[in-house]
Amino acid sequence: MITKIKDFTVGTNLSNALKAGLSAVIPVLTFSYLGDLQTGLIIALGALFTFPSDTPSNLKHKINGILVAISILFSVNLLINITYPYPFVFYPVFISLVFILSMLAVYGQRATMVAFSALMIISISFSHINTGWKMLEYAGLLLSGGLFYLLISLIFHYINPHRYTELQIVECIKLTAKYLKLRGDLWELNSDRKEITRKQLHLQVELNEIHENIREILVRNRTNYGSSNQNRKMLLSFITLVEVMELAISTSFDHNKLHQKFDEHPKVLMTYQSLAYNLARNLKSLSKKIRKRKSYTPKNNLVENLYAFENAIADYEKTLGKTEASEGVLMLTNMLHYAEKQVEKIKTLERAYTSNVKLKDLKGRDKDLENLITPDYYPLNTLVENFSFSSLEFRHSLRITTTLLIGYIIGKVLPFENVYWILITIVVIMRPGYGLTKERTLNRFLGTLFGGVVGFAILATGPTTTILGGLTILFLILGLTFNPSNYKIGTTFITLHIIFIFAILNPTDDVILYRILDTCVGATLAILANHFLWPFWESLNTNENIKNSIEANRNYLQQISILYNSKESVNAKYRLARNQAFIEIGNLMASFQRMLQEPKSKQDKLQQVYKFTVVNNALLSAAASLGTYTQSHKTTEASASFNIIFDRIIKNLDYAISLLKNDNKLTETEAPIDDISNNSFIELKKIREKELSKADDINSQEFKLKMQEAQLVIEQLVWLTNLSENIIKTTKVLMKPQPQAETNPLKTFFGSNNPEAL
């Protein structure tokens, strides 16, 4: 419990809540002291509704984003007040504002949060419609509240400029440790590999998101890298963490085969599992020390673990003899090489937090990072292109516009106390996807109900105004702190905050009942709208997500082929293709997870979507394995057979893409021919055998390296070919009409206990 409280106090959620809380509380207390509480409350509203637009970025983009948000908040409030007395003007303006603001989501996260703030201001504007100069005065106070929040935010930034990025890296280290721990779990003889694979894919989605977030912040601040040890430390840490994940994904083992091979010699696998667990333990320990800003000492000596595994391999070879143990030793040596690379990277990460990081320590690893982020560019044609029912944002904009209009009309026609509470509930709950809206609806309802019960119980004790004021401030900060991580708890505290504000301004118990009633109406409208008004089920986007994933893998494989043939160093195109492949796999898995939250009747072809996710992830793993090996080893010249097989794999993927596009340019006769691939494999094996037979000393290091390359390259080519053919088969099944949706993909997809056995 104490540890959780400490983690809570050092997290960015509390820091952000304090920024918003201070920018709201200071004006209220100041103007209350001056006898003008109303003015303080309006300024506080301006600050609170500016807060969502303060998304993580560099200082320049942070200031620009907040200023744009403030300007929009000022403008929309003024427009609502000016047009409200004239219904024939008001309704078109209201509809247009809501629709256009909602469409801003096409420009990314920052624009989405600015639009959210603006929709909240539109909703809250109906709490008090002003006329004459009062309109300009009210909008001006909102503007000043936004500017005051910007001032508070800048003060927090300069007090601790690196804390957010530091905590993001902490979270990244923690998630990476979890991923490595799951890899260790796979070595249990009777482990549930289906469930472990599912958890790994879920973690990959989370890690992709956090990698993009950290990359965005670090690269935007690139000019500071050379001048600060802290900046260099964070950059080196991030690059190393990405490499740790890529190495883990690119190195897979056939656990069933290994267990069968070493069933009578369990010591080697147990020693390796212990090493795998210690990799994760060291990362987890490091994340805790960085969070607490304490000195770090490794919990386990990873080098000693490597020696223990080497000794276990030597004992295995000694027990069976060199000839009989040769195949097993080669398999174990590949595992050892993976572990050595992973230990090296984790030691690099540990050194970053135990000594100063110099610019030369980056060794050019930060090269071309700018190519991996999306530049800030907001062209008008992006908005225009999304004016289509095929666009998720367009459908959501139509839906929320219609729902807010219906909510407003219901609030005006029926005797509701506060129309704007209905509208705020709709804005807060409604999300483009059905699953998230449903989840937020339930959490908001439960949070509001629980907050109402607790609020009523507290008010029944007859607290003084001073106590209510203190609780109001406390619950505001707690509500803003928990909202991002636990919406139900956050809503509970926000409900208590609002109840106590009204208890101070208008002491009556009815406010609780009105709050619950309005929330129920808004939540009901939101969930019904998401189900019946132009819903965007994930199945509508399935083909596009799968196509993007296959295309990204295809492009990555092309770059690997170029790298293997040219023997040149890794360039920007390779890095970009690799990064995009990882991102698209994450997007595909995220789409599958959203589909699971939708009604079962809408989970169209769920089994195929999950199979595509697993197969594409396996394809990425095999490709990354070949790419990583090519980068870190001096490989032999690529043969004609190698290129024939590689071209065949890429043609397989092209054919699958053409099926998804309903493109008839590639016909069945142009699909892969097994004889060509089989002949190429036979030829490639012959070439490798001929090369190896010329070796003078089969015990030499050079011979062992060639053996390792021969085994890895041929195995990966066989695996890639099988996977690409599996993708074609699954694509054909996907494109056929299904009588009903499958709802248990984990059970139906895996035919064995090994998720890699496709």
Q: pLDDT, tens digit, for every residue of 289-305?
A: 887 777 777 777 888 88
Angle subtended at Cα 165 by Cα 162 and Cα 170, rounded to the nearest 5 degrees: 120
- Distance (Å, whole) CA 56 – CA 264: 54
| Spatial distance between the Cα atoms of 731 and 546, rounded to a whole number of angstroms | 9
680 CB burial (10 A radius; 0-12, 13-18, 19+): buried
Q: Which of 361 and 258 is assigned the larger pLDDT? A: 258
Summarize pLDDT for 90-140 with one digit per residue, the tens: 999 999 999 998 888 877 777 888 888 888 888 888 888 888 888 898 889
User: pLDDT confidence of 143, banded at 50, 70, 90?
Assistant: very high
What percentage of the chain carries pLDDT values higher than 90? 5
pLDDT classification of 701: cutoffs 50, 70, 90: very low
**Alpha carbon distance 710, 237 (integer Å):** 34
Q: How far apart are CA 425 and CA 432, in angstroms?
A: 15
**H-assigned helices in 160-265:** 163-185, 193-220, 229-250, 255-261
Helix and strand element counts for the chain (H, E):
28, 0
Q: 257-261, 356-360, 691-695: which range is least confident on average? A: 691-695
- What pLDDT does residue 8 have? 54
Average of per-residue pLDDT across 465-491: 79
Is 147 or 439 the better-scoring residue by pLDDT? 147
Distance CA 186, CA 696 (A): 39
Number of CB atoms found within 10 A of residue 294's CB: 9
The most confident of the ranges 617-621, 677-681, 712-716 is 617-621
- What pLDDT score does 693 carry? 52
pLDDT category at 674 given cuts 50, 70, 90 is very low
With cut-offs at 50, 70 and 90, classify the pLDDT of residue 368: low
Which pLDDT does position 668 carry in this prediction? 46
State the pLDDT at residue 673: 41
Model pLDDT, residue 507: 55
pLDDT at 397 over 80: yes
- Provide Rg for the chain, Cα atoms: 30
pLDDT band at 147 (very low <50, low <70, confident <90, very high): very high
**Residue 727: which pLDDT band, with cuts at 50, 70 and 90?**
confident
pLDDT tens profile 419-465: 888 888 888 877 776 666 777 777 777 787 788 778 778 877 777 77
- Contacts of 438 by beta carbon, 8 Å cutoff, 6+ apart: 527, 530, 597
Cα angle vertex 101, ends 97, 106, to 5°? 150
Give the highest mean pLDDT range of 78-82, 366-370, 505-509, 706-710: 78-82
Q: What's the pLDDT at 331?
A: 77
Task: With beta carbons less than 8 A apart as the criterion, state whether 55 and 185 touch.
Answer: no
Position 228 confidence tier, pLDDT thresholds 50, 70, 90:
low
Confidence of residue 667 (pLDDT cuts 50, 70, 90): low
Whole-angstrom distance, CA of residue 197 vs CA of residue 195: 5
Residue 61: pLDDT above 70? yes
pLDDT of 695 strictly over 50: no
What pLDDT does 665 receive? 58
Q: How many whole angstroms separate alpha carbon 555 and alpha carbon 574?
A: 9
Statement: residue 704 has pLDDT above 60: no
Across 64-73, 187-196, 365-374, which has the greatest mean pLDDT?
64-73
Mean pLDDT computed over 596-617 = 75
Whole-model pTM: value is: 0.72
Higher per-residue confidence, 549 vs 252: 549
- Is pLDDT above 70 for 279? yes
Question: Quick one: 7 exposed, middle or buried, by C-beta within 10 A (0-12, 13-18, 19+)?
Answer: middle
Least confident of 32-46, 376-390, 462-476, 609-623: 376-390
Contact (Cβ atoms closer than 8 angstroms) between residue 615 and residue 688: no
pLDDT recorded at residue 750: 38
> What is the model's pLDDT at position 18?
86
Q: Which pLDDT belongs to residue 501?
A: 73
- What number is the average pLDDT over the span 494-510? 68
Q: What is the pLDDT of residue 148?
A: 93
User: What is d(CA 480, CA 482) in angstroms, rounded to the nearest whole number?
Assistant: 6
pLDDT score of 149: 92
| 32 pLDDT above the threshold of 90 | no
Mean pLDDT of 237-247: 84
Q: Tell me, what's the pLDDT at 151?
A: 93
How confident is the model at residue 219, as a pLDDT?
66
Which residue do the tokens 């690119």 mark? 250
Of residues 457 and 669, which shows the higher confidence score? 457
Whether residue 574 has pLDDT greater than 90 = no
Rounded Cα distance, 683 and 677, in Å? 10
* Predicted local distance difference test score (pLDDT) of residue 754: 42
pLDDT in tens, 303-352: 888 888 888 888 888 877 777 777 777 778 878 888 888 888 888 888 87
| Comparison of pLDDT for 676 and 287, the residue scoring more | 287
SS3 state at 122: helix
Q: Fill in the amino acid letter for 709.
A: E
24 and 44 in contact (C-beta within 8 Å)? yes
pLDDT at 369: 52
Give the mean pLDDT of the chain. Answer: 76
Q: Which residues, at least 6 apart from 120, have a Cβ–Cβ distance to it below 8 Å?
A: 49, 52, 424, 427, 428
At residue 96, what is the residue type? Answer: S
For 58, phi then psi, to 5°, come to: -75, 170
Q: Nearest-5° angle of CA 490, CA 492, CA 495?
A: 110
DSSP state of 131: -
The band of 10, judged by pLDDT with boundaries at 50, 70 and 90, is low
Interval 23-41 mean pLDDT? 87
Q: Is 511 exposed, middle or buried (0-12, 13-18, 19+ CB in 10 A)?
A: buried
Q: Report whether pLDDT(649) > 90.
A: no
409 vs 217, which has greater pLDDT? 409
Percentage of residues in the chain having pLDDT higher than 70: 78
